[in-house]
Amino acid sequence: MTTGKTVPIDYQLGNTKASVNMFFEKLTPAQKQSIKTVNVDMSKAYISAIKTHLPHAKIIIDKFHLLSELNRDIQSVKRQMFRAMAEKEFGTKQRLANNQNKAKIISTEIHSLSRIEKNAVRWAVIKRPKNLTDYQSDVLKKLEQWNMPLYKAYLLKEQFYALLVPQPKHTAEKNLRFWMTEALQTKLSGLRSFCKTLEAHLPFILNYFEFGKTSGAIEGVNNKIKNIKRMAYGYKNLDYFFRKIRSKFYSLPKLHALFTST
């Protein structure tokens, strides 16, 4: 992450603690001691392995994964809102079962939102304001006018993005706790779920503000690898898959050592 050089490893199947252990077991005590910080997602297996092998290292929950988790929870708020609107407009699920025509209507259009608008809502609530299309901006204004819970969730999402800027660690903790209080007051289950995630990983999240490190470059490489897999709809032969990866990243330094099999 600091030099841009790759680390020679063997690929392992799965993302379990056992697969991570195989990597750490190949490091010398001196190499382990030299690792001061580790950027990671919220995988329990990874965090457990790091604590076991690198008890001295600072674990940093990467903001990339944190924001991805928030966007997933915002989408759950959207789904709940649409279900509530459907039941208010057409009745309970049991009543819908007795009226197939209305059930079909709900699948394409709910209350004042058309199918196209629903799709616009999906992206409007997770995209940054500067990236919104004109149509998505208009749909967002509708949510504001109707004072929908989803619009409150959108505002909280934007506030959370604004918190992930360089600032003293103690200030960041104060701001994050205030944000959680605001989010919990909405009583939206999606935001409550995200607050639980924040509380459970808060010490690791605060380490980001102390060290300011992210794994953005690594995630970029991972996304390119995912695209290679999607283009072929997956690979049955892992060795061939890794040869494709090597050919894609032939210009990166020492990459031949990163993707090798035993």
pLDDT of residue 32: 92
pLDDT of residue 255: 45
pLDDT of residue 177: 95
The C-alpha atoms of residue 26 and residue 224 are separated, in whole angstroms, by 27
pLDDT of residue 224: 83
CB distance 178 to 135 below 8 Å: no
pLDDT of residue 208: 93
The C-alpha atoms of residue 110 and residue 108 are separated, in whole angstroms, by 7
A 10 A CB-CB count for 36 gives: 10
Strands 37-40 and 58-61: parallel
The C-alpha atoms of residue 139 and residue 146 are separated, in whole angstroms, by 11
Instruction: Kindly tell me the sign of the dihedral angle through the C-alpha atoms of 167, 171, 172, 175.
Output: negative
In DSSP terms, 10 is beta-bridged to 260
For each successive 10 residues of the chain (262 residues), what is the average pLDDT? Answer: 57 75 87 91 89 94 87 80 59 52 45 58 65 71 66 84 90 94 89 93 94 80 85 83 75 47 40
Domain ranges for the chain:
17-62+214-258, 64-200
pLDDT of residue 116: 59
The C-alpha atoms of residue 198 and residue 181 are separated, in whole angstroms, by 12
Q: How far are the Cα atoms of 49, 58, 208, 209 from residue 203, in angstroms, in the given order?
A: 17, 10, 9, 10
| Three-class DSSP labels, the chain | CCCCCCCCCECCCCCCHHHHHHHHCCCCHHHHHHCCEEEECCCHHHHHHHHHHCCCCEEEECHHHHHHHHHHHHHHHHHHHHHHHHHHHHCCHHHHHCCHHHHHHHHHCECCECHHHHHHHHHHCCCCHHHCCHHHHHHHHHHHHHCCHHHHHHHHHHHHHHHCCCCCHHHHHHHHHHHHHHHHHCCCHHHHHHHHHHHHHHHHHHHHHHHCCCCHHHHHHHHHHHHHHHHCCCCCCHHHHHHHHHHHCCCCCCHHHHCECC
pLDDT of residue 194: 93
pLDDT of residue 47: 92
pTM of the model: 0.70
